[in-house]
Structures are given as structure tokens and as C-alpha cells.
Amino acid sequence: MRCLRIFSMAKNRQLVILLGCAALLLVSLALSLCLGAVWLSPAQLLEGAFCPGTVPGRILWHTRLPRMLATLLAGSALAASGVLIQTVLGNPLAGPNIIGVNAGAGFAVALLSAFTPLTARLTPLAAFLGALAAMLLVYFAAKATGASRVTLVLAGVAVASLLNAGTDAVVTLIPDALPGSSSFRIGGVEGVSMVQLRPAAVYIALGLLAAFALRPAMDVLALGDETAQSLGLRVEPTRFALLLTAALLAGAAVSFAGLIGFVGLIVPHAARALLGGRVKHLLPTATLLGGAFLTLCDVLSRVLFAPYELPVGIVLSFIGCPFFLILLARRKGGHARDRA
């Protein structure tokens, strides 16, 4: 009876946390629609929803709603991608921007724009392929060298620097190749349109469906390769499927939001602190928190220096860099047991 009571309390706690994350997401979305250079009251939002030709309607349909959906999609996708990457690599220091996944997506988009006109359909595909190539490069390099987990992160940082330099070279040599290149490299969702969001949303939906379908395998994989194999899991195909899914999510987010960083690092840690490490509970919580976190950061970027706006990538860097340094400091001295 006592075991059943403890199990029931744990289930109730998980449900409460999940509902709390969902409520936080709804609040953040409401703030995103209301706050900005022009305040829109709930009554004005309702008016704008049914009368698109009015001033509130134009603000809502052409600015606020696309921007809200962009932060929701990008935040959820990057957070889920971070959970997958940290599980596959067994490394809590890893994240899409830390190991070069976002940089690979950005470089691919820059290359595509240099040789063909950017289209909403091709951009997410190019970003996905670039993200996958960068991820596989870091993963197989670390596997071949048997590097420690911290060394793996350093290798990822080096790859990210190289790919970002490639993006800068493309933009320097062909200045008109990437419209809004400064905003893209910093990361931001101002000016995003529904046309850009539609194809990326399809990629993100497919990626999230795949991630949730792979949750049981991820929990087994987290036990270690030998244990996973003894339980009947095909380790390498599963690992590749997870890397593919993480690249799909991160690439789709980068295709419209630019090189936004640290969401995939911070949010999985926050979800893990709330619920523990089981992917079964971690993934849905991180997905909800990711959308809420990026949306709230975007709201801050609008109101901190109003009427001026900061790109949300700058706000995330101010939050994420100290967070990453704290993680590194906590892992100091753990190199001997921290083998990849």
C-alpha cells in the first residue's frame, strides 16, 4: 500500500508540473499578443480577430500572431532537440547551438541563398540537411577519438565556429545572398511571416511526432549501450534516428528564427530539475517549457527598451552564457569519469 501511495503521489506531481507548464505557456502566448510597441487589450484583440482591416486587426494578423507562433514553434523544437541530443550523447552540456547544429543549419541556408532564390519550401530542407551534417560530424569525430564529454563539447564549439565563419564568408562575398543576414545570425523572429512558418511547422510537427514515438527507446538508451543491447534495443539505428529527429527540429527552427542559441541547453535542464531524467516525462515538459521560455524572452526583448526592440537572440545570450559557465564550473574535476 505504501508503494502504491508513493507511486500515486509521483504521478500526481508529474501531472501538476505538466499542467503548470501548459498554463505558463498559455500566459506567455497571451502576453505575446498583448505587449509590444502598441498595447492591445483583450477587447482590441477580439476586435482585431474578427475585423482584420482595423488597426488592431492588422497588428494582430500581420505582426503579433506570426511572431507568437514563431516563438512557440522554435522554442518547442529547440527544447525537444536539446533533450534528444543530450540523451544520445549522454552529455548535459550539449545543445543544438553548443555543438554546431544550429551553425550547420545556418551555413546551409546561406549557401542555398547564394546560389538560388530563397523559398519557404526549400529553406527548412536545407537547414535540416546542414544541421544533420554538423551533428554527424561532431558525433563521429568524438566516437572515433574516444574523447571525453567535455572534449566533445569543445569539438562542437570548434565546428560551430568554423561553420559560422563559413556563413560570414558567404554573406561577405555575396552581400545580397541572405536578406536580413544580421538578424539571422543574431537570431530573432521580428518580421517573420506565415509563409515562412507553414513549411517549417510541418517539419517541426513531424519531428515532435518522431521524438514522442521514440521516447521508450530513449529511456533504454540512457541506461548505456551494453544494457540497451541486452534489453534488445538496436543501439546504432536508434541513435541515428534520434540524431535525425534532433536535426530536423533544430534545422526547421533555424530556417525562420535564425541562429537562436541556448534554448536547447537551458530548457532541458529546467525540465530535468522539475521532473528528473526519464525522457517519458522530460520530453513533454521540455517541449512546453521551450515554447513558453522563448516566447517570454521575445516579450522581454520588446518591452525592456521600448519603443526600441532587441533581437531575442541577444536576450538569450545574456541569459545563456552565464548558465553555460555555471554548468562547466559544476562539472570541474569530473573528466576521469566523464567518458563519452
The pLDDT tens digits of the residues spanning 83-107 come to: 999 888 888 888 898 889 999 999 9
What is the CATH architecture of 72-330? Answer: Orthogonal Bundle (1.10)
What average pLDDT does the chain have? 87
Cα gap 222→224, rounded to integer Å: 5
Instruction: Give the best-scoring range by mean pLDDT among 68-72, 171-175, 277-281, 308-312.
Output: 68-72
The predicted pLDDT at position 80 comes to 96
pLDDT at residue 293, as a whole number: 97
What is the pTM assigned to this prediction?
Answer: 0.91
- The residue type found at 270 is A
CB neighbour list of residue 274: distance below 8 Å, 6 or more residues apart: 17, 285
Q: Which residue has the higher pLDDT, 119 or 167?
A: 167
**Closest C-alpha to 73, from 255, 316, 279:** 255
Cell (9 digits) for 339: 567518458
The predicted model gives 107-136 an average pLDDT of: 87
Q: Please give the Cα distance from 227 to 241 (Å, whole number).
A: 19
Domain locations in the chain?
72-330
End-to-end CA gap in the chain: 41
Return the bridge partners of 339, or none.
148
Angstrom distance (rounded) from CA 39 to CA 123: 33
Neighbours of 145 (CB within 10 A): 12
Mean pLDDT lowest among 6-15, 127-136, 193-202:
6-15
pLDDT tens-digit map of 230-252: 888 888 899 889 999 999 999 99
- Higher pLDDT, residue 51 or 307: 51
Cα 55 to chain center, whole Å?
33
pLDDT at 229 over 50: yes
Sign for the pseudo-dihedral over CA of 139, 241, 260, 120? positive
3-state secondary structure of 317: helix
Q: Identify residue 100 by its one-letter amino acid code.
A: G
